[in-house]
Amino acid sequence: MPGAPRVGLFATCLTDTFFPATARAVVRLLERLGCTVEFPMEQTCCGQMHYNTGYRDAARPLAADYARTFAGYDAVVAPSGSCGGMIREVHPELHGSAPAFTHTYELSEFLVDVLGVTDVGAYFPHRVTYHPTCHSLRMLGVGDKPLELLRAVRGIDLVALPEAESCCGFGGTFAVKNADTSTAMLGDKMRCVLDTGAEVLSAGDNSCLMHIGGGLSRLRTGVTTLHLAEILASTEEEPWAPTR
């Protein structure tokens, strides 16, 4: 992509509302890497929850809104493999093809595939373990890209998560419709996280992190959940600090 790419940030409704620090970190990171970042105010939600729960008709206008809102950008970056998957894989079925859908990238894909960087100049002196979320892994196929990015972070003590590719049990409305099964899956995921001795659990999706983090918080484990973007945005000059 020649020159400074004009990037549209799709924050996702969950991150916009509950985890603004993640979206601010994406802005900071992409601008540091030379992108022009814009946040079109018309954006709301990709419609995934409606679609996956069986309410297709409610998701359809949201796909249309997305196609219109992000029509003019070189690329759209979303800090979510799940919403990214919804947009790239499902929106065309709901709305017909649109450039905004094919130009949408999950953050690690955009960094590694489009910008061609793995060392983003980050510094994060903590013990970290990484959970590859199901949709980034199996719907988008991001593979090891997030781990490549994390390995290049200075000061990080990155430890492998046992049974990493097992679902954490979130699954959108699955977490409430089948709360008992979801919680059983969560329990095993938390055990694996705690086994690593990491003080930070990272992932590319705040939805899964909210689920695992909700369990870790309930048990007062002291493990912090943190989106990949916030680790990558952290530098020696301006290191990450808890915002709440």
Partner 1 sequence: MGTNPVTWLGTPAFPVAARAALGDTQLRRNLRKATHTIRDKRAKAVEELPDWQQLRLAGEAVKDEVLSNLDTYLERFEAAVTARGGVVHWARDAAEANEIVLRLTRAAGAEEVVKVKSMATAEIGLNEALEAGGVRAVETDLAELIVQLGHDRPSHILVPAIHRNRSEIREIFQREMAEAPASDEPRALAEAARRHLRAKFLSARVAVSGANFGVADTGSVVVVESEGNGRMCLTLPEVLITVMGIEKLVPSWRDLEVFLQLLPRSSTAERMNPYTSVWTGVTPGDGPQQFHLILLDNGRTDALADRAGRQALRCIRCSACLNVCPVYERTGGQAYGSVYPGPIGAILTPQLVNDMHDKQAASLPYASSLCGACFEVCPVRINIPEVLVHLRAKAVQAKGKRTPEAMAMAALGWVLADPKRYEAAQKAGSLARYLARGGRISALPWPGSKWTAARDVPAPPAESFRSWWRRTRG
Quote the least distance from Cβ 76 to partner 1, whole Å.
16
Closer residue to partner 1, CB minimum distance, 42 or 237 = 42
User: In terms of Cα–Cα distance, which of 83, 51, 28, 44 is closest to 208?
Assistant: 83
Quote the least distance from Cβ 163 to partner 1, whole Å.
9
Closer residue to partner 1, CB minimum distance, 63 or 158 = 63
Quote the least distance from Cβ 118 to partner 1, whole Å.
25
User: In terms of Cα–Cα distance, which of 227, 243, 234 is closest to 78?
Assistant: 227
Residues forming contacts to partner 1 in the complex (CB under 8 A) are 11, 13, 15-21, 23-24, 39, 41-45, 47, 50-56, 58, 61-62, 65, 134-135, 137-139, 165-167, 169-186, 210-211, 213-215, 217-218, 243-244
Contacts of residue 27, defined as CB under 8 A and 6 or more positions apart, other chains included, come to 9, 37, 39
Closer residue to partner 1, CB minimum distance, 102 or 243 = 243
Distance CA 98, CA 92 (A): 7
Structural tokens at position 135: 């949709």
Closer residue to partner 1, CB minimum distance, 10 or 124 = 10
Strands in the chain per DSSP E = 6-9, 36-38, 75-78, 104-106, 127-130, 157-159, 200-203, 224-227
Quote the least distance from Cβ 39 to partner 1, whole Å.
5
Query: In one letter, which amino acid is 241?
Result: A
Handedness of CA 187, 139, 197, 220 (dihedral sign): negative
- In the three-class reduction of DSSP (H, G, I as helix; E, B as strand; rest coil), residue 104 is classed as strand
Q: What is the DSSP letter of 59?
A: H
Closer residue to partner 1, CB minimum distance, 1 or 179 = 179
User: In terms of Cα–Cα distance, which of 177, 225, 219, 179 is closest to 198?
Assistant: 225
Quote the least distance from Cβ 47 to partner 1, whole Å.
7
Quote the least distance from Cβ 151 to partner 1, whole Å.
24
Closer residue to partner 1, CB minimum distance, 171 or 204 = 171
